[in-house]
Structure 1
């Protein structure tokens, strides 16, 4: 409900909107749907088109007025074949896209009064945080209470499909807790809802609750197919637990073997092929966690062969492409980057609207020294889905390597704007700001997490550049105490020792850095220290290696010429 516009003290027109966020009204994105519905009529068609995914996810009432411009293969499949469950961070992607829609749709200052903020679905709570951070023209007043509403009433069907398909995990878990006791235990609806509920709980880092439900299901269940899925889910809880200390690959192996045993005996060939290939794929992850990558590759290959032989050609396409994408990951893990590309290309060809596979292929292409192709994939990932930080972060690395420091900085700034908790982006941005002599901004990034060894290493660079060698050494020492194998910290401390005049210590630290991670810059620096010690032949060897690693580096060429 909108209030009449009035003049703000500054003379600009201040618009006021009051909305009720209580999740019992429309579930996830109750507030978002009402807000974009209020702004929709004023939004330019191209703005609507640019945010079709976000608007359709948040405001089902607008779906008929927002054509689906960007789609994935799953959007065209029956519910039973939509096997991919969105990751927990999907709602942050949606929130950022919605925030950009609001930012561009609002033409002047806007005051948003939110009633029942304390009863909002977590999707709306997250969105409010993003709006406050990213929409300067918007002032939000959160009122924890408002008109009373009855508790949410959930029903089987389209509502639960929406929760599951969009990654609304809190709502899915809440609905499962409300509905499961009302269903006949061991029936199809009960099992479907139980699996969805445990998946949502796992996504929310509530693995203990998920395990309790799965253990209960095993006590009352009799259907082999569902018992196998419960065993599979238990294995995944054990290898993916959000607390690494509670992961147990060995117990997971026992559960996944149980799943494979059950699905291997399913009488229907096609049903068996689907469930067994799914379980073999899960077993491959367990074997990776057990340190057996070759066995994992064999299992995924077997799963692919089974799916291609026994499943109908036009059925379960998402499942088939997931198997190919997983084989690509395992192939790359074994060091065969080129060999991984065909499977990723096949996955992309099958589902060109799914952004994550472009990101994976871009990373491989970057590692293979094909930066233009990598950037093309990163930029496609940016276009086909809601905004997320990883493609910008990855493109920044390519831009940095190509000498485009302003472009790299812009990408990192935007990645952090999208996700202020993206710690790796702060590390890279702090280092980049040092290269740009923006030491105050670099220090702000480096000091945001005093225990992060990567940021401590950057802090050492800052202190060195600003002439405080004592504090620089403290920073590098602290970094190495926390991460003894951090090559950047060894390299930085080695360069610092050279500044201090301790040539032997410099060579020692730089050698340790090279053993951990070879690079042109660290070879160049060790060559200088070796030459100062009179070890000219060793210095020349380092410079020759630096020239191999960075053939376009003029400083390396000049240093080599100086030794002749």
Structure 2
């Protein structure tokens, strides 16, 4: 692969032309990403199904470290890799699932597979001169999961080692993130199809309509790249509806016989939807796919299925209609479309008087206002009102076990609203009451997942209330009952870090990295632990990896730049910050850190400009103001330094460092009395350098007594 090679993007509605151009790149694996084939991860899952079985034992061990990601995307490989240990979430019985993954989970899964591809290439060094080339076609018809993976992979994968060849027909749609990744990281080749010639070849289809239509159905009705495809599609439209439905039934039966789980998220529900029993097996197949997709955080795919179900489930058939609509809302909220949920909930409330449905709908409304809406729309008091209603209804349910569980579940939602209102004690009382009631009123074998959720919530509330020993005991408990859930280890690691138990924090963070796909907060916090342990090199590695995952992670970027500055690498720190400004050009903190790097790099004028920009964006950013004063002092602009330090002291009265710095500026201006006053106030802080400040003050008093003026050294470095 020549130096400077890029990924390849082939654009155009000429399918054979795209395939021929992709073949020139000599792909190792070529896949069709059309979501109708296997739903979420149609493309990436197919890559894994081809790649993993042929791995060497050493390479397979690497794949085993990413088994969660691999088996979620390609469940058919469950006989090739050992399954990951289950969690209470993954193993919850039907009707007991009360925890749902964030929409960010698929992003974490994608990052894990990208890491795996990198690891495999590392293991192959010396045995493979050419890059691993993966070709993905029809990505504009791909599910959001495949598009998300490709957007990340185009950025994170080095095309000299793993090269992506991406084909887009232009017939579907591409996410904004994928379009941006294409433009930044790929060479784009645009093809022009011979549209006229293709149309001329289509002609009229003869009596073999049934054969052609069958071929079209066996393509899952996706074939569209050639004249023959177009002819088959026309034949499909011409044959009798009864025959079309029978063909879909046959194809669904054939696919089901394969026993491949991923087909049940794409082709099988599609064919059942268009088969002869839509109201029976069709609805069932689609609803099962919806539930499976929601359980794995495939919210875009589930939403598309719900929208298709809305057409065939009438409002008069209220219970199925209610289920479809509420599952649709369950997808809209994590996709940042929560504002579409509220009118839907009111619509359902107006069409039923069933208490248990009203209970669930009022709970859902409460979650919108305390958890799911943007900060501007949140209203925790309104949420509490809705949740009070859901609790009240729960207490009136007839079945004693259902009444106990639902009262506790709804009360846990109310606890969230109370916590957000700042009523931590009230939230804790609700959670502890729920734990006690489940223990008293339900058999021990029921609702293990929600019991663990309550204990986890109790641990977090105890930590927030400063009851740290009790919180630690509670984290120990939830890890004991659900040892493979990574967030529990992460949260306990955070508490260890807060307590200064650095080795214990590091052990929990390390354990969490082995329990699931990567998420940036884990590695950022592990970097903080590394700093506290004095391992700067390891912390640099952690923060660099966080930025590899998510380049817009502000805290990691500032932490990395600060470590580089402390290590005497201002140029490298400046480069890190300038990259960050591409993502957040209006970040005052980034501009301030850039100013620090420029100071250390010997560029005071550019540093001042960076501090100026930072203070325009955030006039209260003391660090930028103080460091601008430092530069001004060093350049002999004492009045400017004095002005900034005076403003900084107004923001932080009595700060001994600022008083000392302003004293130096007053000295430089020969204002001995004001300098002596600042030094005198600074001396009230026992943590200041008492000897240095006292010496300065004595010099000022001496100068006042003698009536002579001796300038302070303009090279004196102020405390930044």
What TM-score comes out, normalization by structure 1 length? 0.85
Aligned 1:328-347 pairs, distance under 5 A: 328-347=459-478
Does residue 388 of structure 2 align to residue 286 of structure 1? no
Give 5+ residue unaligned stretches, structure 1.
Answer: 547-555
Further displaced range: 361-370 or 432-441: 432-441
Distance 2:221 2:362 in 1: 37
Does residue 557 of structure 2 align to residue 426 of structure 1? yes
Q: 1:123 aligns with which of 136, 142, 145?
A: 145
Further displaced range: 174-183 or 232-241: 174-183
Report the alpha carbon displacement of residue 193 of structure 1 after superposing the two structures with TM: 4.1
Does the CA-based 8 Å contact 1:353-1:384 persist in structure 2?
A: yes
Partner of 2:536: 405
Over 3 Å counting, the alpha-carbon distance change for 1:453 and 1:34 in structure 2 is same
Aligned 1:97-116 pairs, distance under 5 A: 97-106=112-121, 107=124, 108=128, 109-116=131-138
What's the CA shift string for 1:382-429, capped at 9, x where partnerless? 111112221111111122233322111100111111223323222222
What is the RMSD computed on CA atoms of the aligned residues? 3.4
Report the alpha carbon displacement of residue 434 of structure 1 after superposing the two structures with TM: 2.2
Over 3 Å counting, the alpha-carbon distance change for 1:65 and 1:328 in structure 2 is same
Does residue 342 of structure 2 align to residue 211 of structure 1? yes
Over 3 Å counting, the alpha-carbon distance change for 1:388 and 1:263 in structure 2 is same
Q: 1:459 aligns with which of 581, 590, 594?
A: 594
Over 3 Å counting, the alpha-carbon distance change for 1:355 and 1:488 in structure 2 is farther
Distance 1:482 1:84 in 2: 40
Distance 2:630 2:461 in 1: 37
What's the CA shift string for 1:302-325, capped at 9, x where partnerless? 222222222222211111111122
Q: 2:520 aligns with which of 374, 389, 392?
A: 389
Does residue 41 of structure 2 align to residue 41 of structure 1? no
Structure having the higher Rg:
2
SS of the counterpart of 2:90?
A: helix
Does residue 547 of structure 2 align to residue 378 of structure 1? no
Report the alpha carbon displacement of residue 545 of structure 1 after superposing the two structures with TM: 3.1
Distance 1:487 1:362 in 2: 31
Does residue 156 of structure 2 align to residue 134 of structure 1? yes
Further displaced range: 283-292 or 391-400: 283-292
Does residue 93 of structure 2 align to residue 78 of structure 1? yes
Distance 2:621 2:117 in 1: 42
Distance 1:22 1:360 in 2: 39
Does the CA-based 8 Å contact 1:510-1:526 persist in structure 2?
A: no
Partner of 2:358: 227
Distance 1:386 1:104 in 2: 14
Over 3 Å counting, the alpha-carbon distance change for 1:557 and 1:323 in structure 2 is farther
Distance 2:586 2:364 in 1: 35
Partner of 1:52: 67
What's the CA shift string for 1:426-475, capped at 9, x where partnerless? 22222222223333332233232221122122123123323444543444
Over 3 Å counting, the alpha-carbon distance change for 1:7 and 1:213 in structure 2 is closer
Distance 1:29 1:169 in 2: 13
Does the CA-based 8 Å contact 2:65-2:514 persist in structure 1?
A: no
SS of the counterpart of 1:545?
A: coil
Q: 1:16 aligns with which of 4, 28, 31?
A: 28
Where relative contact order (Cα < 8 A, 6+ residues apart) is larger, the structure is: 2
Aligned 1:26-37 pairs, distance under 5 A: 26-37=38-49
Over 3 Å counting, the alpha-carbon distance change for 1:149 and 1:117 in structure 2 is farther
Over 3 Å counting, the alpha-carbon distance change for 1:402 and 1:480 in structure 2 is farther
Distance 2:132 2:117 in 1: 10
Q: 2:445 aligns with which of 307, 314, 320?
A: 314
Aligned 1:143-542 pairs, distance under 5 A: 143-145=167-169, 149-150=220-221, 153=269, 155-156=285-286, 158-183=288-313, 189-447=320-578, 448=581, 449-483=584-618, 486=621, 488-489=623-624, 492-493=627-628, 495-496=630-631, 499=634, 501=638, 508=646, 533=675, 542=685
Distance 1:434 1:301 in 2: 47
Report the alpha carbon displacement of residue 254 of structure 1 after superposing the two structures with TM: 2.2
Distance 1:558 1:79 in 2: 71
Does the CA-based 8 Å contact 1:114-1:142 persist in structure 2?
A: yes
Over 3 Å counting, the alpha-carbon distance change for 1:458 and 1:263 in structure 2 is same
Does the CA-based 8 Å contact 2:683-2:694 persist in structure 1?
A: no
Partner of 2:241: none
Does the CA-based 8 Å contact 2:571-2:597 persist in structure 1?
A: no
SS of the counterpart of 1:203?
A: coil
Report the alpha carbon displacement of residue 355 of structure 1 after superposing the two structures with TM: 0.9
Partner of 2:240: none
SS of the counterpart of 2:84?
A: coil
Report the alpha carbon displacement of residue 52 of structure 1 after superposing the two structures with TM: 1.0
Further displaced range: 496-505 or 66-75: 496-505
Distance 2:554 2:151 in 1: 19
Partner of 2:196: none
Report the alpha carbon displacement of residue 89 of structure 1 after superposing the two structures with TM: 1.1
Distance 1:156 1:523 in 2: 68
Does the CA-based 8 Å contact 1:490-1:512 persist in structure 2?
A: no
Distance 1:453 1:346 in 2: 42
Over 3 Å counting, the alpha-carbon distance change for 1:315 and 1:512 in structure 2 is farther
